Amino acid sequence: MKPLIVANWKCSPVTLREAKRLFDSIKKGVRDVKNVEVVICPPFVYLPILGASSFARQRASYGGLALGSQNCFWEEKGAFTGEVSPVMLKDLGCEYVIIGHSERRKYFSETDSMVNKKIKIALKNDLNPILCIDKISQIKKGIKGIPKGEVKKVIVAYEPLWAIGTGMACGFKEAKKFNFSIRKILGGKNSVLYGGSVNSQNAKAYIKEAGFQGLLVGGISLKAKEFVKVVKVVA
Ligand code: PGA
């Protein structure tokens, strides 16, 4: 299986011009990298513009970038002011959706039961959910009530809170232990990603030494050169 490298741009960049430039630089940088699945998760507002790029839509033939969103609502449509439906995301060419990121849990009070509803609606709409956790207990709550055959489609991102945006990445041995426990709970069939201060120096070891199937990259994904390096070192 190809390593999965997910760029979480969070609430940046603040202009469309910068977003396009960043997307294009990454696209160019990873053009020849065929054996890594690269997913860009920009802010919602940029999705239709970046998704309209033929590169994103026809990526199968280019081996290029996939699009993901940083969140989605748990209903498909209706009177829910300010929310974004998974059906809309799918329609714009999104293939992945990050769910339950620690910043959503912290600043927007997302609970495990909200996260669970979002995972279910993402699966229903054929979006690959990336369930973010920093505690093992969040896994079972996140996948509650999901049939076994569907559970294996859930990608889990282990992101220790203290490692996010701090420059203090989790040690490989400790990360490996968590990876092992997560895989055990899920029956060994799911992709598990590591996230938290990933950079081009530590990226490879999470895949090769700690056995993760990919990485969730925040800060560094806003620096095209450095992000492309991350992709290349795991290729
Ligand atoms: P970071 O963020 O790479 O800036 O630590 C990771 C994340 O929040 O997904």
Q: Which one of the listed residues 37, 103, 110, 159 is annotated catalytic? A: 159
Residue nearest to atom 9 of ligand 1 (CA): 218
Give percent helix, percent strand, percent coil of the chain, each to the nearest 5: 45, 15, 40
pLDDT given at position 51: 75
State in Å, rounded, how far the first CA of the chain is from the last one: 11
Low-confidence ranges of the chain (pLDDT < 70): 52-63
pLDDT given at position 137: 95
Would you state the torsion angle of the CA atoms of residues 149, 42, 22, 90, taken in this order, to the nearest 10 degrees? 60
pLDDT given at position 53: 59
Residue nearest to atom 7 of ligand 1 (CA): 218
Within 6 A (CB) of ligand 1 lie 8, 159, 164-165, 195-198, 216-220
Q: How far is Cα 141 from Cα 118, in angstroms, rounded to an integer?
A: 12
Cis peptide bond prior to 3, omega within 30° of 0: no
Annotation says 101 is catalytic: yes
Alpha carbon of 96 to ligand 1 centroid (Å): 17
pLDDT given at position 62: 46
98 pairs with which residues across the strands?
Answer: 130
Alpha helix segments (H runs only) across the chain: 16-30, 47-51, 54-57, 59-62, 86-91, 102-107, 112-124, 137-142, 148-151, 172-186, 203-208, 224-234
Q: Which atom of ligand 1 is nearest to the CA of 196?
A: 5
Q: Is-contact 169 196, C-beta < 8 A? A: yes
